[in-house]
Amino acid sequence: MATETAPPETDDEPSSGEQSSVEDSYVEPNIDVEALKGLLDGPYAGMRDLVRGNLARHSSILEEAETMTRDAFRERVKDLTLELAATGQTGMGFPESYGGGGDIGASIAAFETLAFGDLSVLVKVGVQFGLFGGAILQLGTKAHHDAYIAKVVTGELLGCFAMTETGHGSNVQALGTVATYDAAAQEFVITTTREDAWKDYIGNAAAHAELAVVFAQLVVGEDDHGVHAFVVPIRQGGRACAGVSIEDDGPKMGLNGVDNGRLHFEAVRVPRTSLLNRFADVAEDGTYSSDIDNANKRFFTMLGTLVQGRVCVGGAGINAAKVAQTIAIRYGNVRRQFEATSDTEEELLLDYGQHQRRLLPLLAHTYALHFAQEIVAGQCHDVFSGVESDELVRRQLESRAAGTKALATWHATRTIQECREACGGAGYLSVNRFAALKADTDVFTTFEGDNTVLLQLVAKGLLTDYSSDFADLDQLGMVRFVAGLAVETVLEKTNAHKLFERVRDLLPGGDQWDQEAGLLDSNYQLAMLRFREEHMLGGVARRLKRGIDNGMNPGAVFSEVQDHVIASARAHVERLVLEAFVDKVAELPDGDNKVVLSLLCDLHALSTIEADRAWFMEHGRLTTARSKSISREINSLCRKVRPLARDYVDAFGIPEEMLRAPELIGPAS
């Protein structure tokens, strides 16, 4: 090799045969699996166990998803949804006065746990009780509640949530369905005005829903008041109501137990009281009234009440990833291939460094996301139970739910794919679960908000400090607003800088904190992610400002800065996720379980930094030598996590029946 290109040997220290002093003193901890499961289950352990029991009892659904025709399976999923409703697990989010459980947190926990099983059932439950029932609960008033909620909770009344149209999924303010008020008849006339304004991809619409919550532009006389929600009967006795056309969306990649369909309205008349009127109303004479003057803000307030759906999908993605990881790690723990350390026995897959590298950091991310999700679910409970009524907190919840959903569902897609590949050809057989996991979760990155659009929402919140004055800004309004501020002003409003300063002061080295702190010091890890977030946000603000100052069209500026916008939102959410994990570890009493969680937390933190190490080097916060040290430390952590891997996944508490994969996973613990 040419000497001029060879780095100093010490700069390229190989890992083989190397033992750090930390490793020398390391004693392998024992995991108390039950205690760890309890920690993961959190305050709703009982509810989660109820759902686990229900899943195991109805585990035949996993096979039925493969063997039944699409029509028969849809009926089966509907029937099972009703059976689950009878156990109480699906109605936890509704008031007790209507037969619900009156506990939002329990409702989210139940939904998340359902993701261990067939995901058509999960989504059917989500559509009926979350989207449809939730919209009536959140957007309607007492008359609507009295009329519908009790029957929604039992499943006697099935409904759908008709927001998305063929032409508009992300930009729902531009919907083409119109509800025109006819004061003479005291009715709204619902009309699909364009070919691309069919309600589309609507779950429960193709076969089962009798009622739809329809989002439409409310027009009274000359005035368009923007998008509002209406209760519209669409099907009676199995047939479409007059003026309503229903089409089936046809076969989908997955979730074929859910009857997604299209709806078209031709002058469908509904009573004036069909308007879900919590945030706005139309009087008999057509007078429009709302406590929220700004139409944009009113719309986003309405949408904000539906945040539970995003919280639930994020949690479901994390739990679906757990199923994949449990199978892949148990397989890697029993499957042997090629002789390596022994001449007489082939090596266990999980003893290969590469296999550890592909599976174990993802396991650590799942734990991290689990604890981050726990916080989001807790905040969601507080906000929707009235424990917390501050508007700022509500907007922060919306942002956090959006960001966590995005990262959690991308994590699910990536993890399930990696786990399938790690199980080789066996992973391709449907009996081994990955087929359904992949196909069913695929759309999680899209529904309840496209992940890219959600991250833009997160960035907007950060850049405008969640201020209610700017809640009504669209993307371009945000560009103009941020461009009008000094960069320092933008950053002062975010708390990334304050948090960074706080933790940096705890580290040795002063301005050299990034070189002198220990890699396994969680304050160092936090400082890195906080620094990155602050720096990226500043970069976005500076770029927006410069683009506008240079006279560019705000849309063009946004397009060019969009990758930075999204990167900064991701950096923000990754910081929140790490904080959640670090805090969880910190609050544990000393003992082996604290040690084992701490290992995973370090693995999560360092592999998050490693994944973006180029950025840290580019921005002067990571020397090349230290970057390499991080990679070596990750390998070392993988070797420590490896013997504990089975316990880590056992703590997820996935019922054995839900794993199927009889040939892959070895015996139950």
Provide the annotated active-site residues.
448
Interface pick for its own copies out of 169, 643, 655, 666 (rule CB under 8 A):
169
Please state, in angstroms and rounded to a whole number, the distance separating the CA atoms of residues 72 and 100.
29
Please state, in angstroms and rounded to a whole number, the distance separating the CA atoms of residues 123 and 106.
17
Asked if 4 is part of the footprint of its own copies (rule: CB under 8 A), the reply reads yes
Scanning 20-28, 121-129, 379-387, 431-439 for contacts with its own copies by CB under 8 A, the matching segment is: 431-439
Please say whether the beta carbons of 246 and 240 come within 8 A: yes
Nearby residues of 361 by Cβ (< 8 Å), 6 or more positions away: 603, 604, 607, 634, 638
Interface pick for its own copies out of 81, 113, 138, 164 (rule CB under 8 A):
164
Asked if 156 is part of the footprint of its own copies (rule: CB under 8 A), the reply reads no
Query: How near is the Cβ of 166 to its own copies at its closest, in Å?
Result: 7
Query: How near is the Cβ of 535 to its own copies at its closest, in Å?
Result: 7
Query: How near is the Cβ of 238 to its own copies at its closest, in Å?
Result: 23
The closest alpha carbon to 216, from 242, 183, 181, belongs to 181
Cβ nearer to its own copies, comparing 103 with 534: 534
Interface pick for its own copies out of 74, 535, 570, 640 (rule CB under 8 A):
535
Scanning 5-13, 229-237, 570-578, 595-603 for contacts with its own copies by CB under 8 A, the matching segment is: 5-13
Cα 482 to the center of its chain, rounded Å: 27
Nearby residues of 53 by Cβ (< 8 Å), 6 or more positions away: none
Contact positions with its own copies (CB under 8 A) in 542-581: 542-544, 546-547, 550, 552-553, 555-563, 566
Nearby residues of 390 by Cβ (< 8 Å), 6 or more positions away: none
Would you give the binding string for its own copies spanning residues 46-85, x where CB under 8 A is met? Answer: --------------------xx------------------
For its own copies (CB under 8 A), the number of binding residues is 109
Please state, in angstroms and rounded to a whole number, the distance separating the CA atoms of residues 179 and 226.
10
Neighbours of 412 (CB within 10 A): 30
Contact positions with its own copies (CB under 8 A) in 208-247: none
Q: Which helix (H) or strand (E) holds 458?
A: helix 451-463
Asked if 534 is part of the footprint of its own copies (rule: CB under 8 A), the reply reads yes
Contact positions with its own copies (CB under 8 A) in 627-646: 627-628, 635
Query: How near is the Cβ of 248 to its own copies at its closest, in Å?
Result: 11
Would you give the binding string for its own copies spanning residues 307-346, x where CB under 8 A is met? Answer: ------------------------------xxxxxx---x
Asked if 486 is part of the footprint of its own copies (rule: CB under 8 A), the reply reads no
**577 φ, ψ (degrees, to nearest 5):** -65, -45
Would you give the binding string for its own copies spanning residues 255-294, x where CB under 8 A is met? Answer: ----------------------------------------
Asked if 425 is part of the footprint of its own copies (rule: CB under 8 A), the reply reads yes
> Do strands 177-182 and 187-192 pair parallel, antiparallel, or not at all (unpaired)?
antiparallel
Contact positions with its own copies (CB under 8 A) in 459-478: 474-476
Please state, in angstroms and rounded to a whole number, the distance separating the CA atoms of residues 344 and 336.
12
Please say whether the beta carbons of 326 and 652 come within 8 A: yes
Query: How near is the Cβ of 603 to its own copies at its closest, in Å?
Result: 15
Asked if 174 is part of the footprint of its own copies (rule: CB under 8 A), the reply reads yes
Query: How near is the Cβ of 434 to its own copies at its closest, in Å?
Result: 7
Cβ nearer to its own copies, comparing 610 with 647: 610
Contact positions with its own copies (CB under 8 A) in 500-519: 501, 511
Nearby residues of 468 by Cβ (< 8 Å), 6 or more positions away: 297, 391, 392, 395
Question: CA dihedral defined by 462, 465, 471, 473, rounded to 10 degrees?
Answer: -70
Please state, in angstroms and rounded to a whole number, the distance separating the CA atoms of residues 316 and 319.
5
Pairs from 243-247 (Cβ < 8 Å, separation ≥ 24): 243/267, 243/268, 243/269, 244/268, 246/205, 246/206, 247/198, 247/206
The closest alpha carbon to 431, from 640, 206, 657, belongs to 657
Scanning 137-145, 177-185, 234-242, 448-456 for contacts with its own copies by CB under 8 A, the matching segment is: 448-456
Cβ nearer to its own copies, comparing 94 with 434: 434
Would you give the binding string for its own copies spanning residues 187-206, x where CB under 8 A is met? Answer: -------------xx-----
| Angstrom distances, CA of residue 157 to CA of 145, 160, 209, 288, 365 | 13, 10, 8, 30, 39
Contact positions with its own copies (CB under 8 A) in 355-394: 357
Cβ nearer to its own copies, comparing 45 with 68: 68
